[in-house]
Amino acid sequence: MGVNYSTRHCFAFISIFLLLAGVTTLIVWLVYRPSKPSFHVIGAAIYDVNTTSSYVVSTTMQFTLVAHNPNKRSAAYIDRLSAYISYREEVITAPAPLPPMFLEREGTVIMSPMLGGEPVPVSPNVPGGLVTDEAYGVVALRVVLLGRLRWKAGAFRSGHYGMFAKCDVLIGLKKGHVGEVPILGSPDCSVDV
């Protein structure tokens, strides 16, 4: 009978402890409620678009992106960050590793990664599509950022979450142009965490 009584007390103690831990976690989450960072493309430069082969594309591009942390109470760390460019759902630059990023509370970071430079195998419709779009003067590209995100609020640190940001950008590009190109529209990025 004594064993059964102590077992019930132990079970009650553990249940109350877990309930209090859950309530505390919920309160901390409600107070700090981290939201995902936002990204915007504010500049673009094209240095090379080589479409001479039917199955390989070589490009060198630079996009200027603004990362913003909208949280008032928690900072954001993004590590294992990499970026690449895709055209018509196909990757046209190799993923480029980027340095880790720290976003203060309500902080902003500007980055301008240089992407490409190496030949990338593609399907036969990509080089032809790029040539056609260049002749028309408008090229639709997607800048993709991948990384691991975690939040820090005071002494609390979250676990790591996978982050995927995609920025659909329309650029004005004519064949033979090198350097900065106009961005058509206001490209905000969608971010999944």
**Which carries the bigger pLDDT value, residue 12 or residue 32?**
12
Q: Which of 98-107, 138-147, 182-191 has the lowest mean pLDDT?
A: 182-191
3-state secondary structure of 156: strand
CA distances from 40 to 17, 43, 80, 115, 190 (A): 44, 9, 20, 17, 9
pLDDT at 14 over 80: yes
Tell me, yes or no, whether 110 and 183 share the same domain: yes
pLDDT bucket at 53, cuts 50 / 70 / 90: confident
How many domains is the chain partitioned into structurally? 2
Number of Cβ atoms within 10 Å of the Cβ of 141: 26
* Cβ contact 81:149 at 8 Å: no
Q: How far is CA 88 from CA 8, 14, 56, 128, 141, in A?
A: 63, 55, 15, 12, 7
Domain hosting residue 12, numbered range: 1-32
Looking at the fold, whether 113 and 101 belong to one and the same domain comes out as yes
Tokens representing residue 21 in the block: 């831990």
Q: Are both 52 and 104 inside the same structural domain?
A: yes
Question: Does 18 share its domain with 71?
Answer: no
Residue 30 binned pLDDT confidence (cut-offs 50, 70, 90): low
The pTM for the full model equals 0.81
Alpha-carbon gap, residue 140 to 126, rounded angstroms = 12
Domain co-membership, 25 together with 49: no
Burial of 20 (0-12, 13-18, 19+ CB in 10 A): exposed
**Residues 1, 69 within the same domain:** no
Q: Return all residues near 134 (Cβ < 8 A) that are at least 6 apart.
A: 49, 173, 174, 175
Determine the pLDDT at residue 88: 93
Shared-domain flag, residues 68 and 18: no
Note whether 2 and 74 are same-domain residues: no
Per-residue model confidence as pLDDT tens digits over 62-92? 999 999 999 888 899 999 999 999 999 999 9
The confidence score (pLDDT) of residue 154 equals: 76
Are residues 42 and 25 part of one domain?
no
Task: Write the pLDDT tens digit of every residue in 171-187.
Answer: 998 887 889 999 987 77
